[in-house]
């Protein structure tokens, strides 16, 4: 097989690839933020005394965890317009990532909360704190500290899932790579570079979460 490497199309397309990396980071960070909001809110509703809220959250988690992400993003982009809800590719990708990540975050955060000793909750209530204040000040931070490695892994996976947004032409790294490959037919060179950029993006996200853990969740030094 006489195949000669030629990275010139990749070099020529580097500005677009770098913008694609920025698009991927934007989707990932916005999706993570929305996922965390859904996760924390979902846990609060999941433990609500109002049964319809509990069943709604349980049903949401089961539906999202047992359907492919590609189907979810297609449903939001292609099916919701029939209900009068139309979103452009980038907002669709952010919503899909947030919903998907939020469903998993609910279970991860809930597992961390359940690991907190019941006596701490009772002590907070005995001090006159409202249930929401007990959740915020006594339960949430220790729970996040316990589940942070699992949450980090889930959000790294969410970051890599941004590549699926190329299926609806959202502007991110994979969609840019596909365009360059279709114009140059240099599949190996394009996707080799694509892989390298995803490794860098994943490393940056891991470093960001490590910094957050060190600054906000570490135990105070005596």
Confidence bin at 177 (pLDDT 50/70/90): very high
Q: What is the mean predicted confidence (pLDDT) over 149-172?
A: 91
In whole angstroms, what is the distance from residue 52 CA to residue 182 CA?
50
Q: Where are the domains of the chain?
A: 19-213
How much is the average pLDDT of 109-122?
78
Residue with tokens 């970051």: 159
pLDDT at position 1 is 58
Do 143 and 115 meet the contact criterion of CB atoms below 8 Å apart? yes
What are the tens digits of pLDDT across the range 57-78? Answer: 999 999 999 999 999 999 999 9
Tokens 């941004």 correspond to what residue? 162
In which band, very low, low, confident or very high, does the pLDDT at 213 lie, cut at 50, 70 and 90?
confident
**Is the pLDDT assigned to residue 45 strictly greater than 90?**
no
Overall size of the chain counted in residues: 222
Question: Can you name the CATH fold of 19-213?
Answer: MetI-like fold (1.10.3720)
Q: DSSP of 156-175, one letter per residue?
A: HHHHHHGGGGGGGT-SSHHH
What's the pLDDT score for residue 136? 73
Q: pLDDT value at position 141?
A: 74
Find the radius of gyration of the CA atoms of the chain.
21
pLDDT(222) > 60:
no
Which pLDDT score, from 0 to 100, does residue 219 have? 60
pTM for this one?
0.86
SS (HEC) of 50-98: CHHHHHHHHHHHHHHHCCCHHHHHHHHHHHHHHHCCCCCHHHHHHHHHH
Res. 167 pLDDT band, cuts 50 70 90: very high
């Amino acid at each position: 097989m006489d195949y000669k490497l030629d990275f010139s199309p990749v070099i020529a397309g580097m500005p677009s690839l770098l913008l694609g990396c920025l698009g991927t980071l934007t989707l990932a960070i916005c999706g993570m933020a929305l996922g965390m909001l859904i996760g924390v809110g979902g846990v609060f509703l999941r433990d609500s005394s109002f049964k319809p809220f509990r069943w709604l959250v349980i049903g949401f988690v089961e539906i999202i965890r047992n359907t492919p992400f590609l189907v979810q993003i297609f449903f939001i982009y292609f099916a919701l317009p029939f209900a009068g809800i139309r979103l452009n590719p980038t907002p669709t990708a952010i919503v899909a990532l947030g919903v998907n990540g939020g469903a998993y975050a609910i279970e991860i955060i809930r597992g961390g909360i359940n690991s907190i000793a019941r006596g701490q909750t009772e002590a907070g209530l005995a001090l006159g704190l409202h249930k929401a204040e007990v959740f915020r000040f006594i339960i949430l931070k220790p729970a996040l500290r316990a589940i942070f490695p699992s949450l980090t892994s889930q959000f790294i996976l969410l970051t890599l899932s941004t590549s699926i947004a190329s299926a609806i032409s959202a502007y991110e790294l994979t969609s840019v790579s596909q365009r360059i490959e279709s114009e140059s037919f240099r599949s190996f060179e394009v996707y080799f570079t694509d892989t390298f950029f995803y490794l860098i993006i994943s490393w940056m996200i891991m470093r960001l979460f490590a910094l957050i853990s060190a600054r906000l969740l570490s135990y105070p030094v005596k």
